[in-house]
Structure 1
Amino acid sequence: MDTQNFIPKSLKNSIENASHTWLTPSNIALVKYWGKSEPQIPKNASVSFTLSKSHTKTTIDFTRTEKVEIPEFDLFFEGKKKDDFKPKIAKFFERILEYCPYLLEYRLTIHSENSFPHSSGIASSASGMSAIAMCLMSLERSLCDVEISDEFITKKASFLARLGSGSASRSIEGPLVVWGKHEAIEESSDLYGVQFPYKVHSIFENYQDTILLVDKGEKQVSSTVGHNLMHNHPFAKQRFDQANENLERISKYLQNGDINSFISLVESEALSLHAMMLTSNPYFILMKPNTLEIINAIWRYRNVTGSNVCFTLDAGANVHVLYPENEKENVLQFIEEQLSQYCQKNQYICDNVGFGAKKL
């Protein structure tokens, strides 16, 4: 799709005040993307499970005002004014202004809250930016003289969200979303996420993800900085090739139910992501000692029991424990008895695959 299609052609000006609220989820990538070019174009394709309970709730109040030169807004996070979050949102609005020119005619008051700790490696920017994008599209729908389809709303919201946070493009829909052009995935695009287009084997339906909160503090190195370090990374090309090959492989596993190969690939992808951090210049480590304790405990448990449990990691210390729904009782017992000791205050989030953004 040509990006020009996302520029509104006909808007009416009769709405003085509006308020829209959306609940949008985080997601956990199975094949990771790490490295991008401007404007927010991934160096390799990725695929993720959309989550259900790990989400951001955002309300935007729009008040019509005299036209301004740059978007004006106030931001409240979990009830408190957060001016330190504003530069990232301002940059986002700057990037999308061509596609949302009505931003210059409204003052925005943004109220946002997470169901999980912010900046701890549970893709808070993904759920946060996608929630803002959906609120903007709700306003755009009411401003347009012509009817806008749900399909267009979803596609443009993903396109907009990507310009705030690449992974946010994968949080609009579910349960599996691909972002990045890839010949093995029909209709895939670098500009927005698309639903995984093929029938998924029943073993992957309602897949479970228990997130072990190893470290709820803010990451020492942001994902933005980490992505930028891939520009001169000595293993960048090999990593991008590996990820694209893995996406084609995991597409087959998701369809044929080869869960052993799925487990091997997902864990390898997680470790490859962190290997890029370990070998960048400057290098850094986001895993914590308890991250490694959990990984080794999962490997021991799987060897002893024959379970299909596995782990993945995002750009942080927390561990996502993935497993089929039919193992839920046993795996949760394992987590409570053995893994929770490695979490801050024994805390973890029981989540599962979800279906994307919801209007409230």
Structure 2
Amino acid sequence: MGQKSVKKLSSSAIAHPNIALIKYWGNKNQALRIPVNGSISFNLDSLFTKTEVTFISELTSDILFINGHETTGLGLDRVVSFLNIVREQAGTQSFAKVNSENNFPVGTGIASSASAFAALSLAASNAIGLDLSEKELSCLARRGSGSASRSIPEGFVEWFPGVMDTDSYAVSIAPARHWGLVDLVAVVTHEHKKVGSTAGHELANTSPLQKARVDDTKRRLDIVREAIKYHDFQAMAEMVELDSNMMHAVMMTSRPVLMYWENTSISIMKNVQKWRASGIPVCYTMDAGPNVHVITTKDYSEDIYQKLACMNGIKQIFIAAVGGKARLVND
């Protein structure tokens, strides 16, 4: 048969998006998505992307369906570029049909590309016959979306920035059961953001604040890593909010300016700080989008949900505990 071109090879995988507590913004190597700084996150268990990849020898090009709709343009181009990496590793030229479904909105700052490329990495590599370690899967997922590297391992995850393709990967620093945190994702708009993360990373160095943010990252990482280890919510909260504010300060001082905050976003952040001052373990963080991730403990999650539900401008609230690793599934 020559190259590994067979009639049909199929595999399905599920991966969760993650919320970064210490964030990644800006790349040392844009092509390989090697970040300028390390990051720490946790996976979101109730949110997921399920992706089926089928390599079919009769296909003359890759085809992509997202939530049942055939996708072309930049979305398809990004998947094709990624599948080319998988094909190169496997030594095959077979094209694939990719069917991907999300149970949460895409392109609004809930790390949809993270779960998408983590699931695609696992499904595609398994379907094509590659037997990759978790480290290798994390490296592969990173090539599709930097934050996807963090959606491969379980629970609380740290991404080591590295300097080359093989040493920029993520590992689990604590299992999902280690600490009962809950992320309440306050959706303030379902509109697709005008500037995605990939384009945003390229603008990071245009901000005069980026160097200061990166230079201080190790300190923030060390504090949050220890806070997770010892369940120190207050120490974590202070660094998580600082880190989020620093990243958005870089965005707001980039050229052109990236302004993701909406009025409702600001109201939520102010309320969260007020709630924490009253003694509730709660903090906020925002990725590259207008929606606000409100993090608390399981004991307070219902109380925080009710407080958010009473606010004007919030369209929807997702609730997610700490989630597991990317995994293969049977259809």
Confirm or deny a common fold (TM above 0.5).
yes
> 2:87, 2:204 → 1: CA distance?
28
1:155 to 116, 135, 138: 135
* Alignment match, 2:325: 356
Q: How does 1:254-333 map to 2 (within 5 A)?
A: 254-304=228-278, 306-333=279-306
Q: Secondary structure at the match of 1:62?
A: strand
2:41 to 39, 45, 48: 48
> 1:359, 1:139 → 2: CA distance?
10
Deviations for 1:14-49, whole angstroms, at most 9, x for unmatched residues?
843122111111000000010003211110000101
> Contact between 1:220 and 1:286, CA under 8 Å: does it hold in 2?
no
User: Aligned residues: percent identity?
Assistant: 31
> 2:262, 2:47 → 1: CA distance?
22
Q: Secondary structure at the match of 2:237?
A: helix
> Contact between 1:207 and 1:322, CA under 8 Å: does it hold in 2?
yes
Q: Which amino acid aligns with 1:324?
A: T
1:170 to 145, 150, 169: 150
Q: Secondary structure at the match of 1:44?
A: coil
> 1:246, 1:353 → 2: CA distance?
21
* Alignment match, 1:132: 120
Higher gyration radius (CA):
1
Q: Which amino acid aligns with 1:50?
A: N
> Contact between 1:293 and 1:342, CA under 8 Å: does it hold in 2?
no
Q: Which moved more, 1:233-242 or 1:92-101?
A: 92-101
Deviations for 1:206-230, whole angstroms, at most 9, x for unmatched residues?
3101101111111121111110012
Q: Does 1:101 align with 2:101?
A: no
1:61 positional shift:
1.5
1:94 positional shift:
3.9
1:98 positional shift:
3.6
Q: 1:239 to 1:60 in 2, by over 3 A?
A: same
* Alignment match, 2:78: 88
2:201 to 198, 205, 227: 227
Q: 1:302 to 1:291 in 2, by over 3 A?
A: same
Structure 1, gaps ≥5 residues long: 1-10, 183-188
Q: Which amino acid aligns with 1:86?
A: L
* Alignment match, 1:75: 64
1:194 positional shift:
0.9
1:137 positional shift:
2.1
Q: Which amino acid aligns with 1:73?
A: D
Q: Secondary structure at the match of 2:108?
A: coil
> 1:94, 1:199 → 2: CA distance?
33
> 1:343, 1:178 → 2: CA distance?
30
Q: Secondary structure at the match of 2:225?
A: helix
Q: Which runs of 4+ in 1 moved over 6 A?
A: none
1:23 to 11, 14, 23: 14
> Contact between 1:294 and 1:342, CA under 8 Å: does it hold in 2?
no
Structure 2, gaps ≥5 residues long: none
> Contact between 2:17 and 2:151, CA under 8 Å: does it hold in 1?
yes
> Contact between 2:207 and 2:251, CA under 8 Å: does it hold in 1?
no
Q: Secondary structure at the match of 1:311?
A: strand
1:92 positional shift:
2.2
1:293 positional shift:
0.8
> 1:12, 1:176 → 2: CA distance?
39
> Contact between 1:301 and 1:307, CA under 8 Å: does it hold in 2?
yes
> Contact between 1:25 and 1:55, CA under 8 Å: does it hold in 2?
yes
Q: 1:37 to 1:92 in 2, by over 3 A?
A: farther
- When the two structures are superposed, what TM-score results if normalisation uses the length of structure 1? 0.83
* Alignment match, 1:185: none
